[in-house]
Amino acid sequence: MIIDLKQILKKMKADAFHHQAAIEQYVCKVQEIFSMGLVLFFATHLVVITLMEVTGGQRVNGAFAISFLQMLLCLGAYFLFRGYFNTHRKHVISAAYLNIFQVLMLMELQYFLYDEYISFTVVICLLLSTSVTLIGHIRTYCTIITFVSLVDIAITLYRNIDMVGLGAMNLYIIDSLFMVLIATSINICCCQLNYQAFDKEQKIIYLSERDALTGLFNRKALQTAIQTYAAENTLCAMILLDLDNFKLLNDTLGHFEGDNCLKDVAQGLSGLFRQTDCVSRLGGDEFVIFMPKLRDRNFVTARTKEILKTIGKTYANAKGEVSITCSIGVAFSTEQDMDLYQHLYRAADAAMYRSKQRGKNCVSYAEGDTGRS
């Protein structure tokens, strides 16, 4: 079977979970390194200031204080990205932008206190360093760098307009804008290279986790998803369904019609459940839905009734017609269980066979569970 990689990539990006997680992991790691590098830079800067300006002075003391503040902020950012954001990835991109912005703005404040041209080498190194610490969001990055550069130009004009000729000032403005162009261009190149690497990686992950025919999660992905919640004391459910008369459909109408039936079922199931639910095909005509962090069991009961309505369909061609329904088994768990997949699957499987024995096209619940139908 030929798989359209463009369609797979489009679906994978629509899911966005793995792709975004990879980006956030990269940003978190590089920001951690970037922040520690700045800590060492500002610490060295403090030592140099101390050795060169022993007599002190208001501006020197102010610059010393700013460098010390920058070192503390960067140290705090290092521990945030190494600790908190490494575990809780929420808002990691925004935190990275904030970290870059505060570094560049404090550099401008230090420049203002020094009352002299800040080293172009230092500024360029900072801009180029920040350009490889983020992936994507080019507009936001360019806005931050451009704003800081405009502030730099405004400060320079304000402090040096009487001392520097117009030609030199124009050259300085051109140099500043050229720096912005270099930094943002490098950032765009890094973004594209990293996006390509992420896309290739996520294609492989996507294909390894998906059923080739239906595009649903496979058994391996289902087990991984379930084990994520094994240590939690939250209500979760497994819905296992087996198609009724599917073998008859294959034998009567042919395997092509059987494949169409499986695709229809997959599409119908995908539209019934939340993004946090894991809808999977284990093989043949067996489908499993794992639903974590439920508020109550009534939600599951309502969904099983919708499944029966959605899947019930008659398939026909010149060879005849076959009605497809499904038998459903449901199992719940509310406690920590390190073997959660096996326990839920066995309970739901036993319940599903009771549905078969009851005449098919119905729902049964695992023994001890409420909400029987």
Q: How far apart are CA 340 and CA 116, in angstroms?
A: 66
Q: How far apart are CA 259 and CA 117, in angstroms?
A: 71
Conformational region of residue 317, where left means phi above 0, alpha means psi within -120 to 50, and beta covers everything else: beta
Which uninterrupted H or E stretch holds 274?
Answer: none
DSSP 71-101: HHHHHHHHHIIIIIHHH--TTHHHHHHHHHH
- Where does residue 52 rank: exposed (0-12), middle (13-18), buried (19+ CB within 10 A)? exposed
Q: How far apart are CA 335 and CA 349, in angstroms?
A: 20
Backbone angles phi, psi at 98, to 5 degrees: -65, -40
* The two structure tokens encoding residue 24: 């956030």
Residues paired with 244 in a beta bridge: 325
Which pairing describes strands 313-317 and 286-291: parallel, antiparallel, or unpaired?
A: unpaired
Residues paired with 280 in a beta bridge: 217, 288
Q: What distances in angstroms separate CA 91 from CA 20, 33, 35, 186, 222, one per listed residue?
A: 12, 18, 17, 24, 27
24 and 92 Cβ atoms separated by less than 8 Å: yes
Residue positions annotated with a catalytic role: 285
3-state secondary structure of 29: helix
341 and 237 Cβ atoms separated by less than 8 Å: no
